[in-house]
Structure 1
């Protein structure tokens, strides 16, 4: 029995609206969930125009590398807004009347490949062999009401796409929510070969911590539950499930381990507490699938916030001069679908609701109402003092700097990272060669 593909009524109305506006040549991304039996398309968002005054290209087959990079960068930015269980499923195109089948196949292949590559760069996890190796491409024809869905094989990009039947559904039933609060305390050596202290490549050092999270045990609402059991079994309604992760040393096979000696000049310290969330559709979601989605959300949100702090430092050129305090952004959820599924954004302390609303409009083409924003969850954790202790204040330091009981003494390059729900900073501490494990 083949897979079932379902498109939500919200997404279907949105795509038909774009077609009615004769936005031929418009590209965009599809968001949703892949389960063992079904693929759900729950949201569609067009690619923003580079210039608001311009129109989509009349012939998408003439898109150049810059245009494709623009589409994939949009996908990367949107992927940051997705909770656990929700993915960038693929791309769509409002196909012009004069576009041939061959041209459409070629541009879809280029777009789908670029989008997946861009999104994958920010993952600290890999798909399992059991998960379907596919992404979807959706064509909306200019001269008919038809919307044709095809699958694109991630493992074999050059194979022909397969035409599929897509069913429409309201998808308004409440999804199962699983949540967790995670304490993070990670120190990452940075090789001297790094081009700059804020190089995003330095975050690859989170991989060992990521393995620890993925191998951790768990409790469901404080109790052990078999991985193959149903996550909401015994409950009359889909009330949120709280998960507690129990970490342990990473188990690495002996034949996959080798000693590594690498010269490192600095380290990244990541400390704090984060709130994570995943959404699962269906009444028979297994515990193991829910836990996998939640663990991936843990890795995603920590990596994203680290990267955003790095990007903020680079953008504001805070690499010298007086000390400047920084907090990593809070995660702000917003329920934008009838089912209650919430996307999220990351707000720095100096950003208001208007900044978040503008980003939802730009990236998701969605008019967000302030009442839909939930800015309380992580801020409440911070106010309760769960992660606000002096040990979580890390700074940029050189070998000339001296640590004091009351804080840090700065000389030369210095920038303190304040304590947020997750505090992120780089300590430039010269310590010679670092010996570690590599797998």
Structure 2
């Protein structure tokens, strides 16, 4: 259980100063940091305010006591001893669903073991106490459900209250399941400057069989690929790691500065589904290939095993994030696609939600968005995913909106370590898989036969030419010899 929390002093104090200058009465946002269930300490790197809702309203505001606040009396008036009445302080009104959606979007952009670890609230002490604890715990629970940690799930999240009357910071540990909130120690220090960076370029090829005897809704791209990623996650956990070309032990610490290169060694043939070797009901195959640039940021007292674990988790989160992005975009186009039923027979024009994989008769390919790295804080990078038709300007707009990045982002500082369209997905039919695309082989054999005929014809022509030339030379030699003999015998004797 977490007992103490350390916050990055530079970032947290900067946010507090901005809040005091704006004089806004209330604000809600998410907490980005690291919460290790194996340790009793948590780290907070930054607090990111939740942007306005789609309607332009604030996600957090003060609720009038006449409407009925939280635990502060719900609009009832309290009387003083002198007989005069005073209104109770207004409570907080929070759009928990909008905060959770913001957390989900930001979670995709975080790398290297960093997570959305909770919620922060900027409000006066009176308004905070007047707010129902159930509303606060509901907000924290919604954020936790929207940003699951697949590699090591924890039931604890942080609730940070920044009070401006009086001015102080209070942190609580919130148990998601029970909604129990306990205070914990909170202090500030220098965290980002001491982080070590580990980076890995992970190349993968995942082959997933498509079966006839399954429900139609289970044979969609989303379900088949999600199942394949989950299966690959189990294999990835057994991978050994080389750091700076050296095999390291789990409890080893690396104190050298600079970027550390990580290489993962996956056991041979571990990603092959066992049912693919024994099933006679294979309809096709999905081949998911690509290269992922993964990163991890490690504190000075953390072992390298934590960096390896964070890199593996970053790889899996990146795969899931790209799948979610493609599916989200497809869902937005479902209504438009359904109106154009004239092209429904063409697989290339269908949404991935409409394609039934085991009914495919032609190869189907899909390019996943590529990951690009954007500088964030003190040498730490975040990421975003660019679709084929998107540009850096789209990326910059998302960073400003989701991460509240006020400074301008230079295009030259954005890193494209993954090549364009390097991650792709191809679905092949049964006959393409088993016969190795026999049509292409037939075409190749035809081309080979034509080429052989051309070569034979060329050789025949060359042979005929050489024979004629030899006969001509022989005849010329005979004529010259005959002429010499005749002319020699015709000379008079002296």
TM-score interval, smaller chain: 0.7 to 0.9
1:68 positional shift: 1.7
CA 1:244–1:192: 2 relative to 1, 3 Å: same
41, 45, 54: which one aligns with 1:42: 45
1:116 positional shift: 0.6
CA 1:37–1:2: 2 relative to 1, 3 Å: closer
Secondary structure of 1:278 counterpart: strand
Instruction: State the distance in 2 between where 1:196 and 1:27 align.
Output: 41
1:73 positional shift: 1.1
Choose between structure 1 and 2: higher helix proportion.
2
Instruction: State the distance in 2 between where 1:12 and 1:213 align.
Output: 39
Does 1:138 find its partner at 2:160? yes
149, 173, 183: which one aligns with 1:163: 183
Counterparts of 1:331-346 in structure 2, within 5 Å, are: 331-338=371-378, 340-346=379-385
CA 1:90–1:77: 2 relative to 1, 3 Å: same
Highest relative contact order (Cα 8 Å, sep 6+), 1 or 2?
A: 1
1:302 positional shift: 1.3
Provide TM-score, normalisation by structure 2: 0.67
Range with greater deviation from structure 2 (329-338 or 96-105): 96-105
Q: Report how many residues are paired.
A: 379
Instruction: State the distance in 1 between where 2:281 and 2:173 align.
Output: 45
Provide TM-score, normalisation by structure 1: 0.74
| 1:380-410 Cα deviation digits (max 9, x unpaired) | xx59xxx69xxx6625869999956669xxx
1:53 positional shift: 3.7
In the alignment, structure 2 segments of 5+ residues that lack a partner are 64-68, 71-90, 338-342, 350-364, 442-494
Range with greater deviation from structure 2 (48-57 or 301-310): 48-57
* Aligned counterpart, 1:358: 397
* Aligned counterpart, 1:417: none
Counterparts of 1:314-329 in structure 2, within 5 Å, are: 314-317=331-334, 320=344, 321=346, 323=348, 326-329=366-369
Counterparts of 1:30-429 in structure 2, within 5 Å, are: 30-35=31-36, 36=39, 38-51=41-54, 53-55=56-58, 56-59=60-63, 67-96=95-124, 99=127, 101=129, 103-120=131-148, 123-127=149-153, 133-154=155-176, 156-159=177-180, 161-188=181-208, 191-194=214-217, 197-199=220-222, 203-230=226-253, 232-233=254-255, 235=256, 238-248=257-267, 268-282=286-300, 284-317=301-334, 320=344, 321=346, 323=348, 326-338=366-378, 340-367=379-406, 368-371=408-411, 373-379=413-419, 394-395=426-427, 403=437
Aligned-pair RMSD on alpha carbons? 3.8
In the alignment, structure 1 segments of 5+ residues that lack a partner are 252-256, 408-439
